[in-house]
Amino acid sequence: MMPVPYMDGKFVTYAEGFTIPIAIIKDLIQGLLSNVLSLLILISISITFIVTLYTKILKPKYILNNSFLNNLFNVSWIWTIIRIFGTIFVFITYYKYNVEMIYSSNTGGLLLNDLMPILFIIFFLAGLLLPLILDFGLLEFVGVLSSRVMRPLFGLPGRSSVDCITSWLGDGTIGVLLTNKQLIAGYYTKREAAVIATSFSAVSITFCLVVISQVKLESYFLYMIATVAITGIVCAIILPKLFPLSKIEDTFIKENENRDNEVLPKGKKLVSYALEKAVKRADSCPSLPIFLKDGFKNVLDMWLGVLPIVMCMGTIALVLAEETPIFTYLGLPFIPYLELLQIPDAALMSETIMVGFADMFLPAVIGASIESDLTRFVIACLSVSQLIYMSEVGGLILATKIPVSLFQLFIIFLLRTVISLPIIALIAHMIF
């Protein structure tokens, strides 16, 4: 019998764990539509391909004169080429046509059948339901309450804590989408959005359990969560001070008269002021027709604009990981570092480090056969702490307005790896 969720504040207890309502609805929809989700993704990417080429070649005025359609389909030739390859890859994968290295269950098949159906549903729910977080005062309330921690410690607005919570308890992609919406609305600067997306779009607790189970260390799950949390906090403090995040412009892409610096006025109490700001924001919420119209625009923007990029970038990364030794070679320089940290089977673990840039789950799959419990624990924690993987979060960031390039994502991935390893290794040596 399906477990019944019950509310606990804005989170719920469900299936013997904590999550957020969007994650529960996602699971229900995925169960109902599991047989057609891959086809819907194929159709979405095909529509993007056809209309983008139509726009680039014929330049129809009704698209060019519509700001939403123009922004969605009148993209640069680089993004057009990426959409073309995304379409080619999704057709090869769906019909399992000729090129097995593209459609295999470890490359395009993994994306189309396992990862992208989740994205497809989350994009739908996030597009329609994230306004409930954005427009009804939650961010203002939590922002004021969290400002005394987030601003001094991380140099970020208090409202960014909501991005982290929704990622941790729901899904990392929800955090990225929420961050992108706040950037576009003028609540985050370019630098703040880049820092939040690459440092606070944490892997969900549920998937952490999947990873630790893959390396056969389920009994160490709570140790893993604590390790990942500590590592994430340290990375979030250090990384914004380093290139490339430190060089991103600390400017807004849009002026917003409702933007607030979250400073507590003299004579005001923290909770009452937070409630006051939340109520003020809720009073200015859009009408239901506008709410629904904007929601469906968000959904189309993500379905048509993001899915082709994830399919293209994710497939290329996974094919490189599966069919070439490139990630093995890239991991070789880490062997002395791992030996310095006294991690057993350093050479074997080095093969798992860089493959995490392609997909977060691959390191756990590759490292599951390593004998040392300590090494497998480090692999599991590191794969989650690296955060930037092209099969999902990395590809999604590239498809948003968050100003981070592929090269910058790779540098951030490397920096997170170098910073995370000694912290995880120290804790692992204390446990094992």
Domain count, the chain: 1
Measured distance CA(46)–CA(87) in Å, rounded: 6
Which of 22 and 268 is assigned the larger pLDDT? 268
Between vectors from CA 54 to CA 52 and to CA 58, what angle results, nearest 5°? 130
42-51 in b/e form (b: 16+ CB < 10 A) is bebbebbbeb
Which of 78-92, 97-111, 121-135, 415-429 is predicted least confidently?
121-135
260 within domain boundaries: no
370 within domain boundaries: yes
For residue 206, what pLDDT is reported? 66
For residue 8, what pLDDT is reported? 42
SS (HEC) of 306-363: CHHHHHHHHHHHHHHHHHCCHHHHHHCCHHHHHHHCCCCCHHHHHHHHHHHHCCCCHH
Closest CA to 307 of 56, 59, 85: 85
Q: Is the pLDDT of residue 69 over 50?
A: yes
Q: pLDDT-based confidence at 18, cuts 50/70/90?
A: very low
Q: What percent of the chain has pLDDT above 90?
A: 41
Query: 350 with 334: CB under 8 angstroms?
Result: yes
Query: 381 with 228: CB under 8 angstroms?
Result: yes
Measured distance CA(70)–CA(55) in Å, rounded: 9
Complete DSSP assignment for 231-272: HHHHHHHHGGGSTTGGGS----SS--TT----PPPTT--HHH
Q: How many residues does the chain have?
A: 432
* Domain housing 410: 308-431
Q: pLDDT-based confidence at 91, cuts 50/70/90?
A: very high
70 within domain boundaries: no
The reported pTM is 0.77
For the chain, the C-alpha Rg in angstroms (whole number) is 22
326 within domain boundaries: yes
For residue 10, what pLDDT is reported? 43
Q: At 33, list the tokens.
A: 């539509």
When the pLDDT of each residue in the chain is averaged and rounded to a whole number, the result is: 85
Q: What percent of the chain has pLDDT above 70?
A: 91
Residue corresponding to tokens 């309450």: 145
79 within domain boundaries: no
Q: Is the pLDDT of residue 1 over 60?
A: no
396 within domain boundaries: yes
For residue 198, what pLDDT is reported? 93
Find the helix packing angle between 221-238 and 138-154, rounded to 10°: 70
83 within domain boundaries: no
For residue 174, what pLDDT is reported? 76
For residue 5, what pLDDT is reported? 43
Q: Is the pLDDT of residue 354 over 90?
A: yes
264 within domain boundaries: no
Please give the average per-residue pLDDT across 215-238, as a whole number.
Answer: 91
Q: Is the pLDDT of residue 105 over 80?
A: yes
Please give the average per-residue pLDDT across 324-338, as a whole number.
Answer: 93
Query: 421 with 382: CB under 8 angstroms?
Result: yes
